[in-house]
Amino acid sequence: MSMAKPNLEARGKVLTKLHGREMVNCFQCMKCTSGCTALKLLELKPHEIIKLVNLGFVDELPTSDIIWTCVTCLKCVERCPQKASPYHVIMALRNLAVEKEAKVPEDYLKAVSHILETGLTDTPKKIVTRKLQTVDRDSLKLPKIKPPMESFQSALMKAMEEK
Amino acid sequence: MVRDGFIVTKIGVYVCHCGLNIAGVVDVEKVAEYAKNLPDVAVSRHYTYMCSEPGQRMVQDDIKTLGIDRIVIAACSPKMHEDTFRRAVSETGLNPYLTEIVNLREHVSWVHTHEPEKATEKAEGLVRMGVARVRLLEPLKNRRVKVEKSVLIVGGGIAGIQSSLDLANAGFKVYLVEKSPSIGGRMSQLDKTFPTLDCSACILTPKMVDAAKHRNIMLLTNAEVMEVKGFVGNYEVSIFKKPRYVDAKKCVGCELCTRVCPVKVPDEFNENLSEKRAISIHSAHAVPKIAMINPNYCLRLKYNKGVCAKCQNACEAMAINFEQKPEVNQVKVGAIILAVGSEVFNASKMAELGYGRFKNVISNIEFERISDASGPTGGKIVTPKDHKMLKTIVFVQCVGSRDKRFHEYCCRVGCMVTLKQAILAREKIEENVRIYVCYIDLRAFGKGYEEFYRRARDMDIDFIAGIPSEIHGSPDGSLYFDVYDKGTNKLLQITADLVVLGTGLVPNRDMGHLSALVHASRSADGFFLEAHPKLKPLESAMSGVFLAGACQGPKDIPDTVAQASGAAAKVIDLLSNGEIELEPLKAVVNKELCSGCNICGSICPFAAIEIHLEKAEEGAKYRAEVIEAMCQGCGLCCPACPSGAIKMPQFTTSQVLSQVEAALAEPLVKGGK
């Protein structure tokens, strides 16, 4: 049996990030968890995260892996009968994790550096067509992707530093 | 007392603490002290509860011993206690209209909770305005008017029927107007009723017949209220009666016509789950049991005067009349009860649950029809379209209610309806059929309701604490979905043959039209607004207009019947004397000043002003005249008059301007001039 004491200060921090209580105003109908895309494989339970934040059990959340499993499909936001938003809560917790310099999954860091370098979230890949030909941008004679302008990089860096 | 040619009054100011409601924010002692320095104020006091017996006596004693002749009560809203203080004042022999209420609660303490100093300053300003106005108030006399001892009841559901029977038994003439061809309303569609499981038709039909037979009740079915004129005690109502194309006096309800009619029409009474004919009788228990032709479907009425007429040939009573025209009935009534009920939420708005897309996802009112012996499946609980046997039934709660995207309120009946339907299903179908109820909170709050919930649990009905996010359909018509259960912390994967949505109650679509007709306001949720949520739940804000049943808010049958009887008692209270006392707030024309320009007449929303040619010494002149019976005292005419000839007692130009001046003035201090 895990025992815990609420940490109201940390709870306050999360609520400040969420600009108030609106996003955690939940009556535990389980609709978000029933439909969560990340539940079956990764055991993400949005209702549990919201309740933990509500009660102030927020110490372990930023350092846990579970907050990084959300695939941001936003089903929970669309369908919440109380217009609460597990998605926004999870995003706030991710920001908190970065602030606390907790472990961030490698793929996320990779994506960030990729955006900085190329302006894209992913590298252009080769694909196989229906006729089983392997093509890429070069073979399709598509123009080369230009790296982003320096102003883009500096703006992004600045935004990250402010966080 | 007269001083320098002016009438000097002795004003008493009484500041109420209202417990801590006012005193918790406003410095009442300071306000009372401040009022002492206002002109003509002879006494200024403060007290914990002015409305209490000692509070009222304080005012009465001051009137008797100090000769106070104007009273300012700085307390709560005049809607709350103006009558209380007017009564207290008139008991001493002083005219009750020399009382002014200053609202320090709703207008000050409750809205400026966090700014006590500014609130106190505002309270002082309002008291200053009240004192300025009270000096100019004039004694007025209430008017007594005769009232019609008859009542209009809009809506022939269980609420309207109950109110009608109570009033008719008390000797009042009742006009019961129902939109559809039969009375009975929503309750007549139900199979059984919770928590006793008595058959809805068995307890309702006798009441429907009683209402139809009662000599004091005039039943107007297939009719709608078209126009309401007049005021409390004396309404003139126009009722539009749509044609049935069947002579109500001749039709015997034999249903010969319905057997020959070739046109199939969806049966609304069965929630469109079955078909009836273009000529049909509303339902098996219809009252009155008279056939009606639907003009939108009948071949003869819709297309061609020459075709068909099969029903006319079949009718032995010669009751069919294709030439029937709509009628307008004029009735005079003293009061109106609105009992138009509610509608069931249209679940297709909640796309994720698949209502409207999957044939085996149905609403709870459709389940009632399936379960009812007179319904489309003859009472067998099967799938609605292809009548297949079931292995699993799932009920999903709170559809459209407790949902900020649709209706924020709790529908108040959904939990009990589902418990009842789950029990009915369990009683009617085989033991190995699984029945699940997916719920958020189960609310069984009424008398015998919790016991009913226990009964459902005893009957092997599975309760899942959680609701599905979405419902998927298979090509074979079965449905599957995941639902996370709070109790077991498991994601249950359920395949069901029938999903019944616990759809809530929503405001009736006729309410907009009706609220405009009788000036009854509606609350944020769309239902009719009661005059006070606790102390006046049966009255609308318009005097003479009462509310019964689910049009005031979602209600089950016991509550609806209770409110309907209550509204009937309120009407008896209002009309039984044969006359009522009305405030003297009617516009008055000064004939000397009136030039007959008719600006007032053109602006009056109640058509209460007429221009007459009157003989005067210097020849005939046009003059405005106020028809007292029509004037509602809104006061629009007064500022419109270019010569100041029309005025509203209690709100004269000088009285209102004195308040404005006091509002703008620097705080006056006696002796400081």
Q: Is residue B4 very low, low, confident or very high in pLDDT (cuts 50, 70, 90)?
A: low
Averaged pLDDT for residues A26-37: 95
Q: Is residue A1 very low, low, confident or very high in pLDDT (cuts 50, 70, 90)?
A: low
**Is B250 contained in some domain?**
no
Secondary structure of residue B665 in the 3-state scheme: coil
Looking at chain A, which residue has its C-alpha nearest residue B494?
Answer: A34
Angstrom distance (rounded) from CA B271 to CA B263: 18
Instruction: For residue range B147-175, list pLDDT tens digits in order.
Output: 999 999 999 999 999 999 999 999 999 99
Averaged pLDDT for residues A136-150: 86
Q: Considering only CB atoms, which chain B residues are within 8 Å of A47? A: 484
Q: Considering only CB atoms, which chain B residues are within 8 Å of A33? A: 466, 484, 491
DSSP state of B632: -
**Is B123 contained in some domain?**
yes
Do B406 and B494 reside in the same domain of the chain? yes
Q: Considering only CB atoms, which chain A residues are within 8 Å of B398? A: 29, 81
C-alpha distances out from residue B183 to A102, B40, B176, B253, B641, Å: 68, 63, 9, 15, 49
Do B99 and B126 reside in the same domain of the chain? yes
CATH code of the domain containing B527: 3.50.50.60
CB contact under 8 A, B352 and A33: no
Averaged pLDDT for residues B333-352: 96
* CA triple B129-B130-B135, angle to 5 deg: 105
**Is B370 contained in some domain?**
yes
- pLDDT over 60 (residue B480): yes
Nearest CA-CA distance, residue A54 and chain B, Å: 17
CB contact under 8 A, B466 and A82: no
Q: For residue B620, which amino acid is it?
A: A
- pLDDT over 50 (residue B215): yes
* Residues on chain A bordering chain B, Cβ-to-Cβ distance under 8 angstroms: 27-36, 39-40, 45, 47, 75, 79, 81-83
Angstrom distance (rounded) from CA B418 to CA B442: 10
CB contact under 8 A, A82 and B441: no
Q: Which of B482, B506, B530 is the last residue of a domain?
A: B506
Instruction: For residue range B270-326, list pLDDT tens digits in order.
Output: 999 999 999 999 999 999 999 999 999 999 998 877 888 899 999 999 999 999 999
Alpha helices in B105-169 (DSSP H): 116-134, 158-169
Q: Considering only CB atoms, which chain B residues are within 8 Å of A81? A: 398, 402-405
Angstrom distance (rounded) from CA B544 to CA B575: 9
The phi and psi torsions of B256 (rounded to 5 degrees) equal -60, -40
- pLDDT over 80 (residue B404): yes
pTM attached to this predicted model: 0.87
Q: Which of B446, B472, B506 is the last residue of a domain?
A: B506
The answer to whether B505 touches B514, Cβ cutoff 8 Å, is no
Q: Is residue B370 very low, low, confident or very high in pLDDT (cuts 50, 70, 90)?
A: very high
Q: Which structure tokens are listed for B286?
A: 């219809």
User: Which of B404, B469, B482 to probe the A interface (max A CBs under 10 A)?
Assistant: B469
- pLDDT over 80 (residue B227): yes
CB contact under 8 A, B441 and A47: no
- What is Dmax (Cα atoms) for chain A? 62
Do B46 and B189 reside in the same domain of the chain? no
Do B489 and B512 reside in the same domain of the chain? no
DSSP state of B189: G
User: Which of A23, A34, A39, A48 to probe the B interface (max B CBs under 10 A)?
Assistant: A34
Nearest CA-CA distance, residue A67 and chain B, Å: 19
Q: Which of B455, B490, B506 is the last residue of a domain?
A: B506
Do B164 and B121 reside in the same domain of the chain? no
Averaged pLDDT for residues B351-374: 95
CB atoms within 10 A of CB B274: 15
Looking at chain A, which residue has its C-alpha nearest residue B407?
Answer: A81
Averaged pLDDT for residues B349-368: 96
CB contact under 8 A, A79 and B466: no
Q: How far is CA B547 from the centre of its chain?
A: 5
CATH code of the domain containing B88: 3.40.50
Mean pLDDT of chain B: 92
CB contact under 8 A, B469 and A27: no
Question: B546: left (phi > 0), else alpha (psi -120 to 50), else beta?
Answer: beta
- pLDDT over 60 (residue B562): yes
Q: Which domain holds residue B62?
A: 2-142+655-664
* pLDDT in the model for residue A109: 85
Domain residue limits, chain A: 8-99, 107-162
Nearest CA-CA distance, residue A1 and chain B, Å: 15
Nearest CA-CA distance, residue B479 and chain A, Å: 15
- pLDDT over 70 (residue A86): yes
Do B138 and B170 reside in the same domain of the chain? no
- pLDDT over 60 (residue B668): no
| Choice among A15-19, B503-507, B573-577, B624-628 with the minimum mean pLDDT | B624-628
Nearest CA-CA distance, residue B469 and chain A, Å: 5
* Residues on chain B bordering chain A, Cβ-to-Cβ distance under 8 angstroms: 352, 398, 402-405, 440-441, 465-470, 481-486, 491
Q: Which structure tokens are listed for B40?
A: 């003509």
**Is B296 contained in some domain?**
yes
- pLDDT over 70 (residue B430): yes
CB contact under 8 A, A81 and B404: yes
**Is B49 contained in some domain?**
yes
**Is B670 contained in some domain?**
no
**Is B671 contained in some domain?**
no
The answer to whether A34 touches B469, Cβ cutoff 8 Å, is yes
Q: Is residue B672 very low, low, confident or very high in pLDDT (cuts 50, 70, 90)?
A: very low
Q: Which structure tokens are listed for B395?
A: 């009920």
* pLDDT in the model for residue A47: 95
Nearest CA-CA distance, residue A60 and chain B, Å: 20
Per residue in B482-508, is it b (16+ CB within 10 Å) or e — as a string? Answer: bbbbeeeeebbebebbbbbbbbbbbbb
Angstrom distance (rounded) from CA B596 to CA B611: 7
Do B574 and B593 reside in the same domain of the chain? no
| Choice among B8-12, B133-137, B193-197 with the minimum mean pLDDT | B8-12
CB contact under 8 A, A31 and B466: yes
CB contact under 8 A, B469 and A40: no
Do B182 and B294 reside in the same domain of the chain? no
CB contact under 8 A, B470 and A81: no
Q: Is residue A162 very low, low, confident or very high in pLDDT (cuts 50, 70, 90)?
A: confident
CB contact under 8 A, B402 and A81: yes
Give the number of residues written for chain A: 163
Q: What residues contact residue B613 under an 8 Å CB cut-off, 6+ apart?
A: B620, B621, B622
Averaged pLDDT for residues B410-435: 94
Do B483 and B572 reside in the same domain of the chain? no
Give the number of residues written for chain B: 673
Q: Per-residue DSSP letters for B304-373?
A: -SSS--HHHHH-TT--B-TT---EEEEEEESEEEE---EEE--GGGSGGG-BTTBTTEEEHHHHHHHHST
Count of pairs with CB atoms under 8 A, one residue in A, one in B:
59
Q: Considering only CB atoms, which chain B residues are within 8 Å of A30? A: 440, 465-467, 483-486
Number of domains within chain B: 5
CB contact under 8 A, B441 and A75: no
Q: Which structure tokens are listed for B431?
A: 């033991």
Looking at chain A, which residue has its C-alpha nearest residue B487?
Answer: A30
* pLDDT in the model for residue B132: 93
**Is B215 contained in some domain?**
yes
* pLDDT in the model for residue B152: 98
DSSP state of B163: H
Q: Which structure tokens are listed for A126?
A: 């080769």
Instruction: For residue range B77-134, list pLDDT tens digits in order.
Output: 998 899 999 999 999 999 999 999 999 999 999 999 999 999 999 999 999 999 999 9
Do B383 and B495 reside in the same domain of the chain? yes
Do B366 and B495 reside in the same domain of the chain? yes
Angstrom distance (rounded) from CA A87 to CA A77: 7
CB contact under 8 A, A30 and B441: no
Angstrom distance (rounded) from CA B164 to CA B170: 10
The answer to whether B167 touches B176, Cβ cutoff 8 Å, is no
- pLDDT over 50 (residue B522): yes
Instruction: For residue range B40-83, list pLDDT tens digits in order.
Output: 999 999 999 999 999 999 999 999 999 999 999 999 999 889 99
* pLDDT in the model for residue B1: 46
- pLDDT over 80 (residue B534): yes
Do B336 and B199 reside in the same domain of the chain? yes
